[in-house]
């Protein structure tokens, strides 16, 4: 009959968990809210589509958002592609409840 060997040396060499009391941190200041007139790119796109009442490409949306002052690219090289991705993500996640719908290849309209 074989007995199961236990490695007592391994168990004994483990360090005991130390319980340090961490000092209480001061309450963090909450980040400032966005300015009332500043919109995100996807919200600005929805506003532009509501105003124009027609389907637009993401490039046209970005240009219109900048022209009206709703949203300006923070310096990215491809803001139209980022907007395209965000709109598709909303369509895929929310389905029929999404604010957007694909009108044609590369064009979006409001889902109303």
Residue from 34, 33, 46, 31 nearest 110 by CA:
46
Three-state secondary structure call for residue 31: coil
Return d(Cα 78, Cα 63) in angstroms, integer: 12
Please give the average pLDDT of every successive group of 10 residues along the chain, which has 112 residues: 63 62 64 67 96 96 95 93 96 95 95 84
H or E stretch including 98? Answer: none
* pLDDT reported for residue 38: 83
């Amino acid at each position: 009959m074989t007995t199961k060997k236990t490695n007592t040396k391994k168990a004994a060499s483990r360090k005991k968990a130390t319980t340090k009391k961490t000092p209480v941190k001061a309450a963090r200041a909450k980040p400032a809210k966005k300015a009332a007139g500043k919109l995100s790119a996807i919200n600005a796109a929805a506003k532009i589509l509501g105003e124009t009442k027609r389907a637009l490409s993401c490039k046209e949306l970005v240009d219109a958002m900048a022209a009206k002052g709703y949203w300006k690219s923070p310096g990215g090289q491809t803001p139209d592609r980022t907007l395209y991705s965000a709109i598709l993500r909303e369509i895929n996640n929310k389905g029929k409840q999404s604010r957007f719908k694909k009108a044609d290849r590369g064009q979006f309209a409001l889902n109303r």
